[in-house]
Structure 1
Amino acid sequence: MESLYIVMPAYNEQDNIRNVVEQWYPIVDRIGSNSRLVVADSGSTDDTHKVLEKLKNEKPRLEILSNTGKQHGPKVIALYKYAIGNGADYVFQTDSDGQTNPEEFHDFWKERVEYDGIFGYRSVRGDGRTRAFVEKVVCILLRLYFGVKVPDANAPFRLMKCETLKKYIYNLNDNYNLPNIMIVTYFVHYKEKVEFKKITFKPRQAGENSINIPKIIKIGWKALGDFHKFKKTL
C-alpha cells in the first residue's frame, strides 16, 4: 500500500489552521493507514498549537512537529526529512494559509507513478502583483545561474517521490530559507521526470502574512550568494 505524507509549515495561523486541516485530512484518510498529515508549528505566538493539539485528538493521522526552526524554509526541510525518515512513498507540500485548493490534488496524485515530481504553477496569483513579480525574477535568476527553465519555482503545491527527493534534500543546510526553489532546480537540472501543472492560488483566507516585502528582499539578497555556492556543486 502506498503511503503519502501531506506536509505543511505553520506560523501564527490560528484563524486558518482548523479549516485547512479539515480540508486536507480526508485525502490522507482515504489513501490509507500509513499516510499522514504533518504540520510543523514552531514559534507561533497565537493559539495555532492549541488548535492543532485539539485536532490531533480528533484525527489520528494528524501529526505535529514542534521542534523545527521558526522560519518557513527550515520547517519545510524538517517536514521533508520527517516524511523520508518515516518511510513515506510520496510527499506533498502545501501551506497552511488556505491559499491552495485540495480539490486539485487528485490531478497530481493520479500521475504520481509517471513523474518523479509534479509541481504546481500559479498563472494567476491571489496574493498580489508584487509577489508575482518576485516569482518572475526568481525564475529568471534560476535560468541565468543554473540554466533551468521553470514557470514557477516556489509554489506550495508539489508532489514528489521520496526516493527522488532523498537524493537532493540532504544537500541543503537545515536552516536554508528557500528549499523549494532549490529542490525544483535540482529536479530539473538533473533531468528527473517532472511536470508543471496549473493550479489556482487564492488570496490568504484569514490572518496576516508573516513574510512581507522587506523580508522577501532580504531573503532574496542572501539567495544570490547561496545560488552562487550551489552552482559550484552542480
Structure 2
Amino acid sequence: MNTIVSMLPIVLMLLIIVVGIIIISKVNWRNVAKVGYWMLGAYVIVLLLSVGVFYFVPVTEEEPIQTPESEYDYHLDEVLLGERPVESINEYLVEEWDFEYELDHIQIGYQGDINNTVNIAVERTDGNTIKAAFYQTPVYGFNMELTKFIRPMDIQLSDDRFVVKLPVTKQLKFTSFDKEFPLMQFKDSPNEDWLDVPESLYWGGQLLYLQVPREIEINAEMDVYIEYVNE
C-alpha cells in the first residue's frame, strides 16, 4: 500500500503532462486571452492537487518525542540537594566506578574540556572505598533523542588526585527540508513553519554522585563545585 501511495506524485505529474499536451494541441493559439485563462486554470489545478497529494504521501511512523524536561531536571536537582535518594534515578545511570583508597585526603579536579563540567554530589559513607556513579538524562532535539551522541566522561584516580576526565565537545550537523513551493502558497508569512516543528534543543542533565568515606578530607580544585548531600 505504501508503495502505491508513494508513486502518486509521479503518476500525478505524468497525468498533468499528458493533459497539458492534449490541451495545448487543441488550443487556438491565436486567442491569447484564452491561453492565459487556460494557464491560470492549470496552475490552480496543480496547486489543489499538490495539497491533496501531500496528505497521502507516507511519512515516518515515529511519534513526536515528548520531552518532560522539568521532570528530568527535578529528579537530578533533588538528588543533588539531598531531597531524593540516589536510587530513584537508577534509570539514568550510565557508568559506575569503585576505588579502594587508603589515604586520609583526596583532591578532586577536572581534566579536558572545561565547558563540559558536571554537577558533583558527595555522600559521606563508612569503609575505605570510593564509589562514583554518572547519571545522564536524555538529550532531545528536532524531535529526536540525541543521547547516543553524548561522549562519555571517565574517572581516573592518580595517587591522591581524583580526576574527572571531561569529554571534548562534539559538533553535530542537521539538515531540515522545507515544503515544496505549491504548499508554501498557503502560508501567512515566509517565516511561518508549515508544521510548527520545534527546533529547540533540550540538553538534559548530568550528575556525578560520589560516595566517599567520612575519614577522608576532600579538597576541590578550581571550577569544581561539590554539593554534600548528607551533611
- Greater strand share, structure number: 2
Q: Which has the higher contact order (CA 8 A, sep 6+)?
A: 2
Task: Calculate the TM-score normalised by the size of structure 1.
Answer: 0.22
Task: Calculate the TM-score normalised by the size of structure 2.
Answer: 0.22
Which of the two has higher C-alpha Rg?
2
- Greater helix share, structure number: 1
